Homo-oligomer: A and B are copies of this chain.
Amino acid sequence: MPLFARDEDAFHGHVNGDKNMPVVGEAAEIFDRVIAMLKKYLESAEDREEKVIDFKEPREIDQIMHRCGCDLSLEDGKRVGAEAIISACAATLRLSARTGHPQFFNTLFGRSDICGVVGEMLTVACNTSAYTFEIAPVFVMVEASVIDKTVQLLGFEPGTSEGLFVPGGSIANLYGLQLARFFKLPEVKHKGIYAIKGALVGYCSEASHYSYKKAAHLMGIGEDNIKEIAIDGRGKMVVDELTKRIEDDIAAGLQPFFVGATAGTTVWGSFDELTSLRAVCDKYGLWLHVDAAWGGAALLASTVTRDRLLRGVEKVDSFCWNPHKMVGVPLQCSMIVHRKGRGLLHSCNGTQAPYLFQKEKLFGEMDRGDWTIQCGRRPDAFKIWLAWKHIGDEALGRRVEWAIELSRYAAEIINTSTGRFCGRFELHHEPEYANVCFWYLPLSLKHLKPATGLLTQEEAAALSQVIPYCKSRMQELGLAMITFTGEYNFFRWTFANPRSVTREDVVAVLKDIDVVGCHFVPTN
């Protein structure tokens, strides 16, 4: 079709669909050169001489893209050529944080395994949606397989369990809340919350992920009706406090329905005690969901570790896990699994759209699309399935153990840091999983003891400047990236990429912080 002669150039040189014609011309060049670039990027993931980020300010990024011949703005609507596209891709790779770098610790995800990468790239080329068997048969079956495996690891009863891949842990927690509400009050589906007397209330801990609050707003429950229960010194929800709040709320005419536990809190990496929470939930008839987005990887660890962290998980009602954290597959790879009866997801979310989920079609009963709150849905299960097949349970388990070992090693150095560094490090709490929270005390504040909590207002104000300062300088220098938060701003160091990180990295990072920060003097 000559209509697209120029347009067709964008993909290949021919316009009539000649059989077996290779990708030629501009399109081939773009594909080959960008793929070669990606391969080089992936193979240099462990190169410690690469900066973690080649940090540039927004206006510099604007200029760089302009120099590539590919301005960020789309305003003029003009097309650019292959060279500009390829340069823009190169610049984007260079300017983004190298999340696979062994010294990238900023988030709960990191480097992907080769099968995670190629599995995801295959789904990109396939460009299909996981909603129906007819267009994505293997992806639909693979999703069921990964869910089955997770059900097995959880110790759920297979006959009453089911699950789905969803776009992120926050959405998985939203599904948990939604399933809990529907299970108790199916009439909400048609009539809304108006059908119910007494406000619904749920509980999580003050260390829980913010997604419970976001979900509460979205669901019309309201953030105030997801109550934050205090945590103890190990970061775990105080069960007595939970019981008290439930009883108070019942006495006040409210309707408790949900407890959102956490297995691996975002900051501390703490694990709520699921067995105790189960007992409370049983007593009051509440749904017990566990946000194991980060801690779910402990399912793969040794029996000892698993029992220490996840005891009682086989009795929770629903479970969220992000294998893109720690396990090594690209974002997003998140699942919700529950054990409250097969068909519950479908009854809860189904609307039986007749244009998509026809009863008359071949193997329509395999479709999972109507179990979801989405319509089109990426086949996120494929990459974890492929990576899991390639790595196997045992090696995955070793990674989790190594992440825990790294965090213990870091804590040990921090605890014995006096005299080894110019400044001093102080641990926030002993790590339970793969999070290490710590302060850095430069020379000017070396005498402070932040872990005691006994700082004057001036001391607190001074200390709060230290980590943001260190972080910004390290970012500008391309050194390790670690996030910070909490009392007086502490570093939260997470080992989400155990594949690549060594004990030497741990020491190197602490040394870099010391070099960057030891002479820092806070301003008033």
Q: Can you identify 27 A-B contacts, CB atoms within 8 angstroms?
A: A1-B402, A11-B45, A19-B49, A22-B43, A28-B43, A31-B42, A58-B141, A61-B137, A72-B141, A75-B152, A77-B393, A79-B389, A91-B138, A96-B126, A97-B134, A121-B124, A124-B330, A134-B475, A134-B481, A168-B375, A178-B217, A191-B225, A218-B218, A219-B220, A223-B351, A358-B484, A360-B489
In the assembled complex, the CB of A56 is this many whole angstroms from the nearest CB of chain B, namely: 7
Q: Cβ of A119: which chain B residues have Cβ within 8 Å of it?
A: 89
List A186-209 residues whose CB lies under 8 Å from chain B: 188-195, 199-200, 209
A458-501 vs B, Cβ < 8 Å mask (1 yes, 0 no)? 00000000001001100110000101111001001000000110
A87-101 vs B, Cβ < 8 Å mask (1 yes, 0 no)? 011011101110110
* From B92, B376, B471, contact of A109 by CB (8 A): B376
Q: Is the CB of A471 within 8 A of B174?
A: no
In the assembled complex, the CB of A37 is this many whole angstroms from the nearest CB of chain B, namely: 8
Check A188/B118 contact, CB under 8 A, given A96-B138, A99-B128.
no
* From B4, B35, B492, contact of A35 by CB (8 A): B35
In the assembled complex, the CB of A499 is this many whole angstroms from the nearest CB of chain B, namely: 7
Q: Cβ of A118: which chain B residues have Cβ within 8 Å of it?
A: 30-31, 34-35, 89
Q: Is the CB of B20 within 8 A of A47?
A: yes
A46: nearest chain-B partner, CB-CB: B17
Q: Is the CB of A113 within 8 A of B376?
A: no
Check A388/B129 contact, CB under 8 A, given A58-B363, A114-B11.
no
* From B55, B93, B190, contact of A125 by CB (8 A): B93
Instruction: Indicate if A415 sits at the interface (CB-CB under 8 A).
Output: no
Q: Is the CB of A171 within 8 A of B222?
A: no
Q: Is the CB of B129 within 8 A of A107?
A: yes
A120: nearest chain-B partner, CB-CB: B124
Stretch of A240-248, A378-386, A422-430, A512-520 contacting B (4+ beta carbons < 8 Å): A378-386
Q: Is the CB of B389 within 8 A of A483?
A: no
User: How far apart sit A310 and B10, CA to CA, in the bound complex (Å)?
Assistant: 28
In the assembled complex, the CB of A170 is this many whole angstroms from the nearest CB of chain B, namely: 5
User: How far apart sit A22 and B43, CA to CA, in the bound complex (Å)?
Assistant: 6
Stretch of A142-150, A280-288, A311-319, A438-446 contacting B (4+ beta carbons < 8 Å): A142-150
Instruction: Indicate if A306 sits at the interface (CB-CB under 8 A).
Output: no
Q: Is the CB of B193 within 8 A of A92?
A: no
What 5 A-B pairs are tightest by C-beta distance, nearest first?
A220-B220, A192-B222, A79-B392, A77-B393, A17-B46
* From B57, B89, B106, contact of A386 by CB (8 A): B89
User: How far apart sit A267 and B84, CA to CA, in the bound complex (Å)?
Assistant: 39
Q: Is the CB of A23 within 8 A of B10?
A: no
User: How far apart sit A92 and B140, CA to CA, in the bound complex (Å)?
Assistant: 11
Q: Is the CB of A122 within 8 A of B195?
A: no
User: How far apart sit A489 and B361, CA to CA, in the bound complex (Å)?
Assistant: 12
In the assembled complex, the CB of A148 is this many whole angstroms from the nearest CB of chain B, namely: 7
Instruction: Indicate if A362 sits at the interface (CB-CB under 8 A).
Output: yes
Q: Is the CB of A89 within 8 A of B125?
A: no
Q: Cβ of A43: which chain B residues have Cβ within 8 Å of it?
A: 12, 21-23, 28
List A208-229 residues whose CB lies under 8 Å from chain B: 209-211, 213-225
In the assembled complex, the CB of A64 is this many whole angstroms from the nearest CB of chain B, namely: 9
Q: Cβ of A266: which chain B residues have Cβ within 8 Å of it?
A: 355
| Most-contacted residue by chain B among A100, A391, A399 (CB, 10 A) | A391
User: How far apart sit A7 and B373, CA to CA, in the bound complex (Å)?
Assistant: 37
Instruction: Indicate if A511 sits at the interface (CB-CB under 8 A).
Output: no
Q: Is the CB of A102 within 8 A of B17?
A: yes
User: How far apart sit A45 and B12, CA to CA, in the bound complex (Å)?
Assistant: 11
* From B39, B46, B218, B220, contact of A373 by CB (8 A): B218
